[in-house]
Structure 1
């Protein structure tokens, strides 16, 4: 499936388990998809139904996470999918601010 590769593509992209994967509608046409392997096409079919995390794809495709990372690297490089990386914890709002917002909403 991966041709002995353990890393996704030459760019060494690192996919987090919660990275969201979606089919890129502006990507290659159906003829290019027909040249892909069955596992690649299975991942595309899962993503076509709805945007999924890497962990969900691995579970639904019944493949190890490492294999899915390599296959997704191929699909990303070929333009078949796009990946949304999770928000780093440092960019999330402070819990204190969220509590103040909740308290303010309750006061209404």
Structure 2
């Protein structure tokens, strides 16, 4: 029986109805180099018709602000390797852009560390 308020891909008793390897089309490696901290930001372009609901969810999650790949995987409840493949699909389509967080700021910068601390406090 499907859990009310959730996607039809989830079942309360069985869990995920579509296995991770099916979501990624059996692919285990992304076409672009991504790591857990790679930030993903939507460009405003919609997913292609061939893309699944997970692709649309990634675009929804990173529409307002960049989201790390690790966080996308957690929201999707998928292994990080699968999330990377899906993000790479969206990069190829031009629907997202990625960057490594170190490319924009010095990790030892006190302003960056203070912003990180504030963000952690808000989530706890």
Unmatched segments (≥5 aa) in structure 1: 100-108
2:63 partner SS: helix
Superposed displacement of residue 50, structure 1: 2.6
**Which structure would you say has the larger RCO, counting Cα contacts within 8 Å and 6 or more residues apart?**
1
1:87 partner SS: helix
> Paired residue for 2:102?
87
- The 1:6/1:87 distance shift into structure 2, 3 A limit, reads same
Q: Give TM-score, length-normalised by structure 1.
A: 0.68
Q: Note the aligned Cα RMSD (angstroms).
A: 2.4
More helix by share: 1
1:64 paired with 2:79, answer: yes
Q: Give TM-score, length-normalised by structure 2.
A: 0.60
1:52 paired with 2:54, answer: no
2:98 partner SS: strand
Superposed displacement of residue 53, structure 1: 0.4
> What do the CA deviations read for 1:10-67 (whole angstroms, capped 9, x no partner)?
xxx2211111100013xx4x4xx26121111111111114321011111111111000
CA distance in 1, matches of 2:59, 2:53: 10
1:15 partner SS: coil
Counting only pairs closer than 5 Å after superposition, residues 1-108 of structure 1 correspond to structure 2 as 1-9=23-31, 13-25=32-44, 28=45, 30=46, 33=47, 35=49, 36-87=51-102, 92=106
| Structure 1 runs, 4 residues or longer, greater than 4 Å off | none
CA distance in 2, matches of 1:37, 1:60: 15
Q: Mark the structure with the bigger radius of gyration.
A: 1
